[in-house]
Amino acid sequence: MADQAADRATQEALDGFYGDLKANDLAPLWPISDELMPAAPTPATLPYLWRWKMLRRLAERAGELITIERGGDRRVLSLANPGLGGAPYASSTLWGAAQYLGPRESAPGHRHTPAAIRFVVEGDGVWTTVNGDACDMHSGDLILTPSMHWHDHSNPTDHAMIWFDGLDLPTMKALDAIFFEPYQPDELQPVAGHNLSERLWGGRATLPRDHGHDRPSSPLLVYRWIDADRSLEALLAERGGPLVTLEYTNPLTGGPALPTMACEMHRIVPGGLTRPYRKVGSSVCVVYRGAGHSVIDGQRFDWSHGDMFVVPSWSTVEHEASEPSDLFAISDRPILEALHVFRDEWLDAPQDVTATFEAKEPQTQDSVA
Ligand code: GTQ
Ligand code: FE2
């Protein structure tokens, strides 16, 4: 009896104490310590995939319905990971999107602290001007827009183009480090020339002798498909399949193309599953060529040309190509490496496949489809 009364008194004291903590804007660690400090990352980001057919169809509809002014300068459909509570982010750290630019349209100049890359899934004829350097975009090319570099996009052709945008925007948002400026007063920057960075910095193991100090972002702004293809072919011949990977690098440092984002291309050839791999930090992958599937944390994702998918932090991933395949990928690895918290590992045992991801087929109510 006395014990119960004592227990009740203690409970009341505890309730009062927790109430007072809350009222004073304090939180006790002990009830949440496991959640705050799990043994390994527990990302909210889900493994997820968007089909190219769906992306292209809805991007084309945006082209019909939304003028570029009404679209706030950019006709961009961002990959919104369903694990992130409605945020327009592909992963907790990366932005991924399909951008549509119609015939004879241009997207006005601006600059911002988030860094961006463009990867051309198909088509050509558009250029992105980066600090006055008009970078021509062809299928399979990678174009950089480093932090605070002026950029605008121009499509002088009579056909639309859709490409993949990758940005470190969620990371910059988390750091409260976003600044943005429109280019003024003209819509577009003057073009000093086409592919200037490529002419100066794109030599094979040759650089201007007076290249000066390392720069945090690559001075080379364009990486051509033909060069990536040649390197992948040589790598595959040398190392053998089923998987080889190249990284697009800053020619001044040999490090990542951008200080916040790594860009890679994986070539996967038929002949079995790649070895299971996991790393800290997320990736967004874009299928440039081929067809196959990936197993991510036990879930099977079938993919083909243009599909885009997300691999969350510390998720185990294996790939298997049914035809020769090239997967372009961005990741936040350079940030983790700079902070000395990057880790990765190759595992031995293939995963059990417990589920197959059903990608949404185009959900449309339109008749134009
Ligand atoms: O093309 O400048 O997907 O500023 C997101 C933000 C593209 C761009 C995006 C941007 C851009
Ligand atoms: Fe931008």
265 found inside a domain: yes
87 found inside a domain: yes
Q: What's the CA-to-centroid distance between 111 and ligand 2, angstroms?
A: 6
- Write the pLDDT tens digit of every residue in 249-308: 999 999 999 999 999 999 999 999 999 999 999 999 999 999 999 999 999 999 999 999
The preferred substitution site among 112, 167, 168 for testing ligand 1, maximizing ligand atoms within 8 Å of CB, is 167
Q: What's the CA-to-centroid distance between 179 and ligand 2, angstroms?
A: 11
Ligand 1, atom 10: closest residue by C-alpha? 74
The preferred substitution site among 55, 73, 76, 117 for testing ligand 1, maximizing ligand atoms within 8 Å of CB, is 76
The preferred substitution site among 73, 74, 161 for testing ligand 1, maximizing ligand atoms within 8 Å of CB, is 74
Ligand 1, atom 8: closest residue by C-alpha? 74
Ligand having the closest approach to the CA of 101? 1
Ligand having the closest approach to the CA of 76? 1
1: pLDDT confidence band, cut at 50, 70 and 90?
A: low
Task: Tell me what pLDDT residue 367 has.
Answer: 45
Task: Tell me what pLDDT residue 368 has.
Answer: 46
Q: Which atom of ligand 1 is nearest to the CA of 165?
A: 3
369: pLDDT confidence band, cut at 50, 70 and 90?
A: very low
91: pLDDT confidence band, cut at 50, 70 and 90?
A: very high
Give the whole-angstrom CA distance, residue 78 versus residue 72: 14
Q: Which atom of ligand 1 is nearest to the CA of 110?
A: 2
Rounded to 5°, the CA angle 308-310-314 comes to 155
302 found inside a domain: yes
24 found inside a domain: no
- Maximum C-alpha span of the chain: 89
Nearest Cα neighbor of 269 from 231, 237, 306 is 237
Tell me the residue type at 295.
V
21 found inside a domain: no
Q: Which atom of ligand 1 is nearest to the CA of 78?
A: 3
Domain coverage including residue 342: 48-180+194-201+217-356
Q: What's the CA-to-centroid distance between 110 and ligand 2, angstroms?
A: 6
Give the whole-angstrom CA distance, residue 260 versus residue 58: 30
Task: Tell me what pLDDT residue 300 has.
Answer: 98
363: pLDDT confidence band, cut at 50, 70 and 90?
A: low
Low-confidence winner among 64-73, 130-139, 299-308, 313-322 (lowest mean pLDDT): 64-73
Q: What are phi and psi of 162, to 5 degrees?
A: -125, 130
Domain count, the chain: 1
Task: Tell me what pLDDT residue 12 has.
Answer: 97
Q: What's the CA-to-centroid distance between 312 and ligand 2, angstroms?
A: 25
293: which strand partners? 302, 320
- Write the pLDDT tens digit of every residue in 330-361: 999 999 999 999 999 999 999 999 999 998 87
For residue 22, the SS3 value is helix
Ligand 1 binding site (Cβ under 6 Å of any ligand atom): 74, 76, 97, 99, 116, 151, 165, 167
Mark residue 260 as left, alpha or beta (left: phi above 0; alpha: psi -120 to 50; beta: remaining): alpha
Q: Which atom of ligand 1 is nearest to the CA of 76?
A: 3
Ligand 1, atom 1: closest residue by C-alpha? 74
CATH number at residue 312: 2.60.120.10
Ligand having the closest approach to the CA of 147? 2
- pLDDT tops 80 at residue 21: yes
- Write the pLDDT tens digit of every residue in 28-70: 999 999 999 999 999 999 999 999 999 999 999 999 999 887 7
Task: Tell me what pLDDT residue 345 has.
Answer: 98
- Write the pLDDT tens digit of every residue in 204-242: 889 998 888 778 899 999 999 999 999 999 999 999 999
58 found inside a domain: yes
163 found inside a domain: yes
What would the DSSP string read from start to end of 32-99?
A: THHHHS-SS---SPPPEEE-HHHHHHHHHHHHHH--TTTTTT--EEE---GGGTT-S-SSSS-EEEEE
Task: Tell me what pLDDT residue 365 has.
Answer: 61
176 found inside a domain: yes
pLDDT > 70: what percent of the chain?
Answer: 97
Mean pLDDT along residues 242-247: 98
- pLDDT tops 70 at residue 366: no
Q: Which atom of ligand 1 is nearest to the CA of 97?
A: 3
Q: What's the CA-to-centroid distance between 167 and ligand 2, angstroms?
A: 9
The preferred substitution site among 55, 95, 99, 189 for testing ligand 1, maximizing ligand atoms within 8 Å of CB, is 99
- Write the pLDDT tens digit of every residue in 141-157: 999 999 999 999 999 99
- pLDDT tops 80 at residue 2: no
State the residue for tokens 């706030």.
72
State the residue for tokens 């050509």.
124
Ligand having the closest approach to the CA of 170? 1
